[in-house]
Amino acid sequence: MLELRVCIDVEDLERALAFYTAALGLKPGRSKGNDWAELLGATSPIDLLANPAGSTPAPGTSAVRDYRRHWTPIHLDFTVTDLEAAVQRAQAAGATLERGIQERPWGRMAHLADPFGHGLCLLEFHGQGYDALADS
């Protein structure tokens, strides 16, 4: 079976560990100094990778890491059972609420950014959840 691991580049590993454990209740797993830390408690392990702002993500690219708020076509959704409490925890841990709680046919959601500019959503499913959207 294919295993998914989520990798998140961060500028400050200690700050990232503090944010993701306080905001989402994830637990530290393995680590290697100030370079890498694994977070457990989600359906996939999350690897925090310490990389300085301004460094290049791949040889030969002109792109550089920038930890101001940015957009990418891939983001993380975390499902929670109490959206208001989860939003409050995330904000207390350093997240920015970018779009407040919205009602959807499948439940509710809120858009946030972590302290490193990565977008994330908190989802609270109701009833059938995403199955309410499916054609069959």
Using one digit for the tens of pLDDT, what is the confidence trace for 3-40? 999 999 999 999 999 999 999 999 999 999 999 999 99
Question: What are the extents of the domains in the chain?
Answer: 6-53+67-133
Using one digit for the tens of pLDDT, what is the confidence trace for 57-106? 888 889 899 999 998 888 899 999 999 999 999 999 999 999 999 999 99
- The CATH code of domain 6-53+67-133 reads 3.10.180.10
- The string over 6-16, giving b where at least 16 C-beta atoms fall within 10 Å of a residue's C-beta and e elsewhere, is eebbbbbbebb
Distance CA 56, CA 63 (A): 6
Q: How many helices (H) and strands (E) does the chain have?
A: 2, 8
pTM of the model: 0.90
Q: What is the helix (H) or strand (E) element at residue 91, kind and residue range?
A: helix 83-93
